[in-house]
């Protein structure tokens, strides 16, 4: 019977596909649950064999063996969880809800296995007498700490409670995610009066009309997906409609319906706190941060507070300037949340003669993609070739083979357009990570997912400058994974300390402001004319526009995250989540009842950034400093790029990030680099 399950399930067989890529056409939704359950059985058999072997524990027979023990399970799980984010349906969602508790139970059994831990601990205690290299040292430390942090030393009663908490948490975080997606898809703004379109660029109106046609409606349909929502808030002159859209977006998960996330937040926070306290920590942040560069909550809070102190005067100045401009142009009201994007964009247009929509024709998606590919070619010598013979999970997806000369570096899956089966935002992930254990080199299968405006019959996909910057960011993550060159999967690619992972992606954003780069691909999609020099000058002049405002906005998200995860008593039943969030922020605009970001804050409640959202700003300090070296030597300088690849990108988590940084820069970070870039210093 077991042989039949394996033979009938493509997730459990060897794939006869190019580079062993997933054969999506053969994989049905019904295959995932049995494949993962079989994967758990196989992994546990392998791990049990490791634990009860008679040979003394060594790095190879224990640590390396653990790295390979769950290969089948990891493959099936990666496919399921990634598709659930970008191409889900009711059956996949139900499968995830069904399987997450089983996966959590499996993980608890592994990490609480005293036999297994005894072998790891023996190796760990002898680490100073064995000449381990840095990669082995980091991997050993990672396994040892993982056992400790997952309750291996707890007594039987606490182990049981730890397991119960983690199982419930696994279900709640996925429910939170599904609720946020449901509420994103559940709202549309259907307009039939062309007067309501005042201020909106023609391209946005065309897209809204196409959306209406897809839904069998007359007029125009706007949604809460980024390519529709953001331009509406930025350009729509109708203030009441802007308010309606803003309230809908900022009430996701907070509508008092079956998909309301407020009680789920309280429970998630309580469970995380209990898990931390079971392990002897005061709060969840203390538990989470001890494995980061920052190391503890006081360091993070001081970092956020110092940056807030530096940026807040500039943020208040930004608000006052936008408010004055609005009043000068007939806005006899105090700016609300749904007004700021509209009036700040108009001020930007006047001050810098800068129209974000006027740039779109120069950022055709295909050209931007090729420009990014060419940039990586100039920096690292890699090439990208489209592969039409590799199966995809949706027709929108394109696949590119990445090579360094004759060497295959991996495959890149690009999924660029919104749909109801995909959550909002942009992210990078992988179907398979890089590793090189023994003689078997495994190259990664990297996925980049965005939500850009889709092509229409008469217009290709055209990006805003911000979207182009987002694409650059996610490709930075992708190449961190693609250029990885280590042995062990647990420390390859983006498997680094949490407040270091955003640095390679944020470094790449700097090229977006460099004329030498923009001139390589930014051509008008109709005329082929290069982007005018004066447009590039406007981009550079406007680079610091609203720098204070945007910094405080990002810091507020980090402060809210830390507030939830530094509490030392559970939130009371029926806790006022809105008030908790607002009390954690420095709000510059009036509070709006019924609206908050927490109830759709997927990064921290289901996306792995709990007590880690500060990492975006932390990594900005590092990226501002690192890019200064590129600026000094030339933004296309191959020697600098080679050093960056060798010392950072290829190393993954095989060394402490502080060491990687010093290896590249020759010193510790300059914390003022970000302040100088933002204009917060003289």
Q: 165 in a domain, yes or no?
A: no
DSSP state of 455: P
Please indicate, yes or no, whether residues 374 and 333 belong to a single structural domain of this protein: no
Q: Yes or no: say if 513 and 454 are a contact pair by the CB < 8 Å rule.
A: no
Q: Which of 281, 288, 264 is nearest to 562 (CA)?
A: 288
Six-digit token pair at 667?
Answer: 């010193």
Strands 427-432 vs 445-449: parallel, antiparallel or unpaired = antiparallel
DSSP state of 131: -
Return the C-alpha torsion angle 412, 417, 418, 423, nearest 10.
Answer: 10
Please indicate, yes or no, whether residues 387 and 534 belong to a single structural domain of this protein: yes
| Consecutive 10-residue averages of pLDDT for the chain (682 residues) | 70 97 98 98 98 97 98 98 97 97 97 98 96 97 98 98 98 97 97 98 94 96 96 98 98 97 97 98 97 96 96 98 98 98 97 89 98 98 98 98 98 97 96 93 98 92 96 98 98 97 97 97 97 93 95 98 97 92 97 97 97 97 95 97 98 97 95 90 73
Between CA 140 and CA 295 the distance in angstroms is 19
Q: Which of 49, 79, 76, 78 is nearest to 65 (CA)?
A: 49
Alpha helices in 89-238 (DSSP H): 90-111, 114-125, 134-149, 156-186, 202-214, 226-235
Six-digit token pair at 412?
Answer: 């890149």
SS3 per residue for 204-265: HHHHHHHHHHHCCCCCEEEECCHHHHHHHHHHCCCHHHHHHHHHHHCCCCCCCCCCCCHHHH
Q: 208 in a domain, yes or no?
A: yes
Q: 478 in a domain, yes or no?
A: yes
CATH of the domain at 48: 1.10.1370.40
Q: 162 in a domain, yes or no?
A: no
Six-digit token pair at 69?
Answer: 């023990």
Between CA 620 and CA 627 the distance in angstroms is 10
Between CA 469 and CA 633 the distance in angstroms is 23
Between CA 175 and CA 214 the distance in angstroms is 29
Q: Yes or no: say if 350 and 325 are a contact pair by the CB < 8 Å rule.
A: yes
Six-digit token pair at 489?
Answer: 């999967």
* Number of neighbours of residue 431 by Cβ within 10 angstroms: 18
| Residue corresponding to tokens 């030393």 | 153
Please indicate, yes or no, whether residues 609 and 621 belong to a single structural domain of this protein: no
CB < 8 Å & 24+ apart, contacts of 607-611: 607/177, 609/498, 609/561, 610/272, 610/284, 610/288, 610/561, 610/564, 610/565, 611/284, 611/285, 611/288, 611/289, 611/297, 611/300, 611/561, 611/562, 611/565, 611/566
Beta bridge partners of 223: 188
* Number of neighbours of residue 531 by Cβ within 10 angstroms: 19
DSSP state of 572: P
Beta bridge partners of 411: 401, 445
The active-site residue out of 474, 578, 620, 655 is 474
Non-local (6+) Cβ contacts of 475 within 8 A are 372, 376, 428, 448, 505, 508
Range of the domain at 202: 187-249
| Residue corresponding to tokens 């030339």 | 634
* 71-86 helix and 90-111 helix, angle to the nearest 10 degrees: 140
Please indicate, yes or no, whether residues 430 and 569 belong to a single structural domain of this protein: no
Q: 154 in a domain, yes or no?
A: no
Alpha helices in 422-546 (DSSP H): 465-482, 503-509, 515-518, 533-541
Widest pairwise Cα distance in the chain: 82
pLDDT digits (tens, 9 = 90+) for 650-666: 999 999 999 999 999 99
b/e code 504-526 from CB counts within 10 Å (16+ = b) = bbbbbbbbbebeebbebbbbebe
Please indicate, yes or no, whether residues 289 and 374 belong to a single structural domain of this protein: no
Please indicate, yes or no, whether residues 122 and 40 belong to a single structural domain of this protein: yes
Question: Of 556, 583, 613, which residue is a domain's last?
Answer: 613
Please indicate, yes or no, whether residues 346 and 367 belong to a single structural domain of this protein: no
| Residue corresponding to tokens 């053969």 | 26
Please indicate, yes or no, whether residues 585 and 623 belong to a single structural domain of this protein: no
Between the alpha carbon of residue 444 and those of residues 264, 412, 434, 448, 491, the distances in Å are 35, 8, 5, 13, 13
Q: 581 in a domain, yes or no?
A: yes
Please indicate, yes or no, whether residues 346 and 307 belong to a single structural domain of this protein: yes
Domains in the chain, number:
4
Between CA 645 and CA 409 the distance in angstroms is 13
Please indicate, yes or no, whether residues 623 and 594 belong to a single structural domain of this protein: no
* 577-584 helix and 547-565 helix, angle to the nearest 10 degrees: 130
Q: 344 in a domain, yes or no?
A: yes
- What is the CB-side half-sphere exposure of residue 468 using CA atoms within 13 A? 29
Beta bridge partners of 430: 446
User: Residue 250 has what pLDDT?
Assistant: 98
Please indicate, yes or no, whether residues 524 and 564 belong to a single structural domain of this protein: no
Please indicate, yes or no, whether residues 673 and 654 belong to a single structural domain of this protein: yes
| Helix (H) / strand (E) containing 533 | helix 533-541
Q: Is 474 a catalytic residue?
A: yes
Q: 164 in a domain, yes or no?
A: no
Six-digit token pair at 466?
Answer: 């911000």
Between CA 558 and CA 584 the distance in angstroms is 10
Q: Yes or no: say if 375 and 383 are a contact pair by the CB < 8 Å rule.
A: no
pLDDT digits (tens, 9 = 90+) for 551-567: 999 999 999 999 999 99
Between the alpha carbon of residue 107 and those of residues 62, 103, 239, the distances in Å are 17, 6, 51
Q: Which of 180, 224, 469 is nearest to 208 (CA)?
A: 224
CATH of the domain at 341: 1.10.1370.10
Q: Yes or no: say if 315 and 552 are a contact pair by the CB < 8 Å rule.
A: yes
Q: Which of 85, 19, 2, 22 is nearest to 10 (CA)?
A: 22
């Amino acid at each position: 019977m077991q042989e039949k399950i394996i033979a009938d399930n493509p997730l459990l067989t060897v794939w006869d596909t190019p580079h062993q890529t997933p054969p999506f056409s053969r994989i049905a939704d019904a295959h995932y649950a049995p494949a993962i359950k079989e994967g758990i059985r196989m992994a546990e058999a392998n791990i049990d064999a490791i634990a009860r072997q008679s040979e003394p524990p060594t790095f190879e027979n224990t640590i390396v063996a653990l790295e390979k023990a769950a290969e089948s399970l990891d493959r099936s799980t990666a496919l399921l969880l990634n598709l659930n984010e970008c191409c889900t349906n009711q059956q996949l969602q139900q499968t995830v809800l069904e399987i997450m508790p089983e996966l959590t139970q499996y993980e608890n059994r592994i990490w609480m296995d005293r036999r297994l831990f005894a072998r790891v601990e023996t190796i760990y205690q002898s680490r100073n007498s064995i000449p381990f290299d840095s990669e082995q040292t980091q991997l050993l430390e990672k396994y040892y700490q993982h056992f400790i942090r997952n309750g291996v030393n707890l007594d039987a009663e606490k182990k049981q409670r730890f397991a119960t908490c983690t199982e419930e948490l696994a279900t709640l975080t996925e429910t939170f995610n599904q609720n946020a997606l449901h509420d994103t898809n559940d709202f549309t703004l259907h307009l039939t009066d062309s007067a309501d379109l005042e201020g909106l660029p023609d391209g946005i109106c065309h897209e809204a009309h196409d959306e209406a046609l897809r839904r069998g409606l007359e007029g125009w349909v706007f949604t809460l997906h980024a390519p529709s929502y953001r331009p509406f808030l930025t350009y729509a002159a109708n203030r009441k409609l802007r308010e309606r859209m803003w309230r809908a977006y900022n009430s996701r998960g907070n509508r008092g319906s079956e998909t309301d996330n407020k009680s789920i937040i309280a429970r998630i926070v309580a469970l995380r706190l209990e898990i931390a306290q079971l392990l002897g920590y005061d709060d969840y942040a203390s538990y989470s941060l001890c494995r980061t560069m920052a190391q503890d909550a006081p360091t993070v809070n001081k970092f956020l507070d110092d940056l807030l102190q530096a940026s807040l005067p500039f943020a208040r100045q930004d608000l006052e300037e936008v408010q004055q401009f609005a009043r000068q142009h007939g806005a006899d009201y105090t700016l609300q949340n749904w007004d700021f994007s509209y009036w700040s964009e108009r001020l930007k247009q006047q001050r810098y003669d800068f129209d974000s929509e006027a740039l779109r024709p120069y950022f055709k998606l295909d050209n931007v993609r090729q420009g990014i590919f060419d940039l990586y070619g100039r920096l690292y010598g890699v090439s990208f070739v489209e592969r039409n013979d590799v199966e995809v999970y949706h027709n929108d997806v394109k696949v590119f083979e990445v090579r360094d000369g004759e060497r295959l570096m991996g495959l890149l899956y690009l999924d660029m357009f919104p749909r109801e089966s995909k959550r909002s935002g942009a992210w990078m992930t992988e179907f398979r990570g890089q590793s090189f254990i023994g003689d078997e080199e495994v190259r990664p299968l990297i996925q980049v997912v965005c939500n850009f405006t889709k092509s229409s019959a008469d217009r290709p996909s055209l990006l805003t400058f911000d979207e182009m910057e987002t694409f650059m960011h996610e490709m930075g993550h992708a190449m961190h994974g693609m250029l990885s060159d280590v042995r062990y999967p647990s420390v390859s690619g983006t498997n680094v300390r949490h407040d270091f992972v955003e640095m390679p992606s944020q470094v790449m954003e700097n090229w977006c402001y460099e004329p030498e780069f923009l001139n390589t691909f930014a051509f008008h999609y109709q005329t082929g004319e290069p982007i005018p020099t004066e447009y590039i000058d406007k981009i550079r002049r406007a680079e610091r526009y609203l720098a204070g405002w945007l910094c405080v906005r990002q810091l507020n998200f980090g402060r809210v995250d830390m507030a939830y995860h530094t509490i030392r008593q559970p939130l009371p039943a029926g806790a006022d989540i809105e008030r908790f969030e607002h009390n954690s922020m420095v709000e510059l605009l009036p509070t709006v009842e019924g609206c908050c970001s927490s109830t759709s804050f997927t990064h921290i409640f289901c996306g792995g950034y709990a007590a880690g959202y500060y990492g975006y700003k932390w990594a900005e300090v590092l990226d501002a400093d690192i890019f200064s070296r590129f600026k000094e030597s030339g933004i296309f300088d191959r020697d600098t790029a080679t050093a960056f690849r060798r010392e950072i990108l290829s190393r993954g988590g095989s060394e402490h990030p502080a060491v990687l940084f010093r290896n590249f820069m020759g010193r510790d970070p300059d914390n003022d680099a970000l302040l100088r870039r933002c204009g917060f210093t003289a």
